[in-house]
């Protein structure tokens, strides 16, 4: 079982950015992409596509899967208590933008802190994890979040919001999650009963 390692200044990867500890490993024992460079999705600020690492390919695939579904669950801590909240998301240039209801106040405990965000295809098994696999998948991203104001084009990607949340008119607020750790899990099932 992998254990997440803290990220921060470490061994220089030659990119000129802060890098991960030299012994950090990802799925399958491969190296974890440099978090100082951003997520390794092949687009955006960090293009890690040339390394050939299984963890880079897994991270890229995880972000592709995340982009296939609309909603997920945000995990954070509010006044020292765990918190789970449903959010709408968009993957934009390797970052995960989240839309929440301002009236719940959850955005306040997320701004400037490390959060986790996860989504899956439970209930939508028609969204396969990989070619030839119709099983279930789950993706989790962990990293710092901050309040942001998306451009009008980015805001349009979210589509219409709900009319009400807990009886209050929906008032959107947006967070940007910079994923430093991305995990993907797949569950394949035999076709026989």
Summarize pLDDT for 75-110 with one digit per residue, the tens.
999 999 999 999 999 999 999 999 999 999 999 999
Q: So what's the pLDDT on residue 123?
A: 82
Mean pLDDT of the 1-27 span: 35
Q: So what's the pLDDT on residue 192?
A: 58
* pLDDT tens-digit map of 127-156: 665 554 567 899 999 999 999 999 999 999
Higher-confidence position of 1 and 60: 60
The structure's pTM equals: 0.70
Q: So what's the pLDDT on residue 193?
A: 59
Q: Six-digit token pair at 130? A: 């990989």
Q: Is 125 helix (H, G, I), strand (E, B) or coil?
A: coil
All structural domains of the chain, each given as residue ranges with its CATH number in brackets, are 37-187 (2.30.110.10)
pLDDT at 57 exceeding the cut of 50: yes
CB-hemisphere CA count at 13 Å for 62? 28
CA distance to 37, 72, 99, 177, per residue, from 110 (Å):
22, 15, 12, 10
Task: Using a pLDDT cut of 90, give the percent of the chain over it.
Answer: 56
Pick the most confident of 38-42, 59-63, 121-125: 59-63
């Amino acid at each position: 079982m992998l254990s997440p390692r803290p990220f921060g200044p470490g061994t220089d990867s030659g990119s000129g950015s802060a890098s991960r500890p030299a012994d950090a490993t990802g799925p399958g024992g491969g190296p974890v992409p440099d978090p100082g460079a951003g997520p390794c999705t092949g687009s955006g600020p960090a293009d890690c596509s040339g390394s050939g690492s299984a963890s880079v390919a897994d991270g890229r695939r995880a972000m592709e899967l995340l982009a296939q579904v609309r909603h997920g669950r945000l995990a954070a801590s509010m006044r020292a208590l765990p918190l789970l909240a449903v959010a709408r998301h968009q993957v934009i240039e390797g970052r995960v933008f989240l839309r929440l209801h301002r009236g719940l106040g959850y955005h306040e405990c997320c701004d400037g802190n490390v959060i986790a965000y996860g989504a899956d295809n439970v209930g939508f098994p028609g969204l396969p994890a990989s070619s030839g696999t119709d099983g279930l998948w789950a993706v989790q991203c962990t990293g710092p979040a901050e309040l942001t104001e998306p451009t009008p084009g980015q805001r349009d990607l979210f589509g219409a919001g709900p009319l009400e949340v807990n009886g209050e008119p929906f008032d959107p607020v947006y967070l940007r999650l910079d994923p430093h750790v991305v995990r993907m899990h797949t569950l394949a099932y035999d076709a026989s009963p």
